[in-house]
Chains A and B, each alone.
Chain A
């Protein structure tokens, strides 16, 4: 009891869509691990399925998700949960696709709760009936993150009273009745940034404890729709001002996160709190992911939980070691004084915008490719006045099976599947 004057905690709260668990600097190395300096995973994201009733234009699932549709069985998922917990993971997200389309979700939640995970359900709300809410509560589910976005192909009516909107409102009320804490999540883009005040009012009215306003990250489907979704700097600044106003007046009731989009910054984010440092994702088919979007990186052989023990995947696989730590950094990161702060930024963004996943994240203005980012933002500004016309000329590509199969087939053609530079 001598160190009460020291900070009691590591820096606390962060946005929910990012792996929210803190980096664990100062953790003792665990005896018996092959890589003595590697901390254990803390955050397991179980993507139970790619099936989803929604078709969001900003979905982060891989474009070719229809190529990976064979899902792990209940028994295989139970093994993943036990093995991840044994490694040290303590936060668990059930995600997808829509995890509620799996009818074994309650079984998985029950075992995860028994193992000591803090269990989070990340859902669109579609399929969250009174019956399932009761069963999930009984199984020990700790929290529900409910997304609000349009489920139809009419994105510009984002907040209009579509049937899904009403359904989500009913679900929000029901999950509060069942005593769940709620994170309300809303992905932001050009079409709904002007409605941020209404979105916040809705979160307050529905009793959300946390509101996560997540600006679109441009991977997967969002990357395909970047020209449509990219906001202007003015839109972002106005939305930030609205958020700041509500934080001043309503901070005690609802904690509001606003994740500033990378493209408008000059320094990258510390992606995933470090590659292979905190986050362990498992895709529906058992592929282990160092980041949500890692499936899109070429040349990264993702290990699979069906044939490789999770411990070996975390500590020994090439995929999880490829960008771990700092030794892989190239210039201008290698000798940069800020490298320990951002760890070179996002690998997916580096690949998509420079063609090499090992390059500096071009969001950084020290990157020789930063001009690519500036141009994307400039294009968004010049297109803002003619958004309606642009929408007509270049329709939004919705995330659905037909589009996925078409994109997957195109990527298999010689020279296909290349994006960015």
Chain B
């Protein structure tokens, strides 16, 4: 696992509008994303640990299910939340998620 390399490639994808932006985003093993009603939040579970996600992080990561790339994901979020211009922030979050090993 070479997280820094992955994070760099994610950043490049975000700035180059190259083909990598279309690669499907997927939660990496051994992480598992699920909604927890008791916490009113999405959580990311991993061996003996848990990260509680805020709403934005949850909305992004729940779309990282292997069916869409970064550009599609951003377009979907803008439509779902009736927002524009959130691309840079989403890309920054996705790059950070790669760095943390949450995304393949």
Q: Which chain A residues have a beta carbon within 8 Å of chain B's beta carbons?
A: 1-10, 12-14, 16, 20-22, 24, 27-28, 30, 40, 42, 87-88, 90-91, 93, 116, 118, 120, 142-143, 145, 181, 183, 209-210, 252-253
B49 on the A face (CB < 8 A): yes
What chain A residues lie within 8 Å of B83 (beta carbons)? 1
What chain A residues lie within 8 Å of B30 (beta carbons)? 142-143, 181, 209
What chain A residues lie within 8 Å of B100 (beta carbons)? 12
Produce 1/0 per residue, B1-14, CB < 8 A to A: 11110000000000
Give Cα A162–Cα B83 distance, bound, in whole angstroms.
Answer: 63
Whether B48 and A5, one on each chain, are in contact in the complex, defined by CB atoms closer than 8 angstroms, is no
**How many pairs of A and B residues are in contact by the CB < 8 Å rule?**
107
Whether A1 and B86, one on each chain, are in contact in the complex, defined by CB atoms closer than 8 angstroms, is yes
What chain A residues lie within 8 Å of B2 (beta carbons)? 252
What chain A residues lie within 8 Å of B86 (beta carbons)? 1, 4
What chain B residues lie within 8 Å of A183 (beta carbons)? 47-48
Whether A116 and B29, one on each chain, are in contact in the complex, defined by CB atoms closer than 8 angstroms, is no
Whether A12 and B49, one on each chain, are in contact in the complex, defined by CB atoms closer than 8 angstroms, is yes
Give Cα A93–Cα B48 distance, bound, in whole angstroms.
Answer: 8
Q: Which 5 A-B pairs have the closest CB atoms?
A: A88-B38, A181-B30, A4-B89, A8-B57, A118-B45
B96 on the A face (CB < 8 A): yes
In the assembled complex, 8 residue pairs joining A and B whose CB atoms fall closer than 8 Å, in A order, are A1-B77, A3-B56, A4-B93, A6-B54, A12-B100, A88-B36, A143-B30, A143-B46
Q: Which A residue's beta carbon lies closest to that of B97?
A: A8
What chain A residues lie within 8 Å of B68 (beta carbons)? none
Q: Smallest distance from the beta carbon of B64 to chain A beta carbons, Å?
A: 13
**Which of B45, B50, B77 has the most chain A CB atoms closer than 10 A to its own CB?**
B50
Q: Which chain B residues have a beta carbon within 8 Å of chain A's beta carbons?
A: 1-4, 29-30, 32, 34, 36-40, 43-57, 59, 77, 81, 83, 86, 89-90, 92-93, 96, 100
Whether B51 and A120, one on each chain, are in contact in the complex, defined by CB atoms closer than 8 angstroms, is no
**Which of A1, A5, A142, A143 has the most chain B CB atoms closer than 10 A to its own CB?**
A1
The binding surface of chain B is classed by DSSP as mixed
What chain B residues lie within 8 Å of A253 (beta carbons)? 1
Q: Which B residue's beta carbon lies closest to that of A14?
A: B49
**Which of B4, B48, B59, B77 has the most chain A CB atoms closer than 10 A to its own CB?**
B48
* Residue among A4, A9, A27 making CB contact with B39, cutoff 8 Å: A27
Give Cα A21–Cα B45 distance, bound, in whole angstroms.
Answer: 9
* Residue among A8, A87, A143 making CB contact with B48, cutoff 8 Å: A143
What chain B residues lie within 8 Å of A181 (beta carbons)? 29-30, 46-47
* Residue among A1, A13, A40, A209 making CB contact with B56, cutoff 8 Å: A1
What chain A residues lie within 8 Å of B47 (beta carbons)? 16, 120, 142-143, 145, 181, 183, 209-210
Give Cα A7–Cα B55 distance, bound, in whole angstroms.
Answer: 11
What chain B residues lie within 8 Å of A14 (beta carbons)? 49
* Residue among A7, A21, A28 making CB contact with B50, cutoff 8 Å: A21
Whether B50 and A8, one on each chain, are in contact in the complex, defined by CB atoms closer than 8 angstroms, is no
Whether B53 and A42, one on each chain, are in contact in the complex, defined by CB atoms closer than 8 angstroms, is no
Give Cα A13–Cα B1 distance, bound, in whole angstroms.
Answer: 17
Whether A142 contacts B49 in the complex (CB less than 8 A), given A3-B55, A8-B57, comes out as: no
Give Cα A253–Cα B4 distance, bound, in whole angstroms.
Answer: 12
What chain A residues lie within 8 Å of B77 (beta carbons)? 1
Q: Smallest distance from the beta carbon of A277 to chain B beta carbons, Å?
A: 13
